[in-house]
Amino acid sequence: MEAEGRMTRMVLYELMRPDQVVGARASAPVAYVPIGPLEWHGPHLPLGLDGLHAHEVAVRAAEEVGGVVLPTLFAGTETVRPPGPGPQSLAALGLPEDERIVGMDFPRHSVDSTYFEESAFGISVRELVTSLTSAGFRIVILVNGHGATNHQATLRRIATEADRPGLQRVVYHLAFLPDPEAAGPGHAAREETAIALALCPSQVRCDLLPPVDDPLRYADYGIVDARAFDGHPAPGHTLPADDHPRSATAEEGAAILGAEGRALAQRVLGLLNGEVQP
């Protein structure tokens, strides 16, 4: 098969016959679990972008080095934003100090996200990991497309608890490449919009946003740059011009996805070769 100009192999677990699964597992005993909630990503992007992103990165890696890709687990967890200044806080995002706000569900949004309570989310992921290791997959990769701190900590803890170097490897992997200037990714800004343009262009509606010259306040649209999440918001709690979704292109998104897929493939090759990795 050919898709988006690249040669592909059958890696989608839900479409595979038993003989195909057995063959793939014998060649590379790797199972990728894409994970992301259904979450507000501004008025211009689909709710499932985190999971769609994680799935695409997993598929690209599996096509390159082998393994099977599970259907996306559209689930995730978030927590109440703390008051005052600091990383992930209400003040950093220009939100009212007297509001109880969970994750990206800001007061002016028209649709709530489907966050799971942390323990319920953890149980779902743990059950998948147990099923896959019991089914003979020696390496399980939790491919995460959601940048929330609490969500990432939960997945890292699950991976650490299940990981048995020399017997089975369970590792956490954030789909985004590291940003040397920020602790984590931004949200629904230029980078994620570019990714969406490469994945599902018909579902991207930047015309629903104000023009680039108009201030785009975090609190109004739920579109946030990475440094604001780190506790260093832009003046006026507005999105910097170079992070505006209207500046995104499908070409940029394709380049990002290509680099992310290659990075995951290289990590999996190392695991298959027995390299010690966190």
Q: What is the DSSP string of 89-152?
A: -TGGGT--TT---BTT--TT-SS---PBPHHHHHHHHHHHHHHHHHTT-SEEEEEE----HHHH
Which of these, 229, 77, 88, 80, lies nearest to 151 by C-alpha position? 77
| Phi, psi at 168, each rounded to 5° | -145, 145
- Would you call 7 helix, strand, or coil by DSSP? strand
* Residue partners of 39: CB distance under 8 A and separation at least 6: 47, 49, 50, 76, 103, 104, 113, 114, 115, 146
Q: What is the pLDDT of residues 204-235, one digit of tens each?
A: 999 999 988 899 999 999 999 999 999 999 99
Phi, psi of 229 (to 5 degrees): -60, -30
**pLDDT tens track for 64-99:** 999 999 999 999 999 999 998 899 999 999 999 999
Q: Are 49 and 222 in contact (CB under 8 A)?
A: no
Task: Return all residues near 192 (Cβ < 8 A) that are at least 6 apart.
Answer: 41, 45, 49, 53, 185, 186
Evaluate whether 77 touches 148 at the Cβ level (below 8 Å). yes
Q: In CATH, what is the architecture of 2-272?
A: 3-Layer(aba) Sandwich (3.40)
- Closest to 245 in 3D by CA, of 205, 201, 276: 205
3-18 pLDDT, tens per residue?
Answer: 444 556 899 999 999 9
Q: What is the per-residue pLDDT for 203?
A: 98
How many other C-beta atoms can be found within 10 angstroms of the C-beta atom of residue 22?
12
Q: Are 145 and 51 in contact (CB under 8 A)?
A: yes
Asked whether the predicted pLDDT for residue 278 surpasses 90, the reply is no
Q: Which residues contact 80 (CB under 8 A, 6 or more apart)?
A: 100, 101, 102
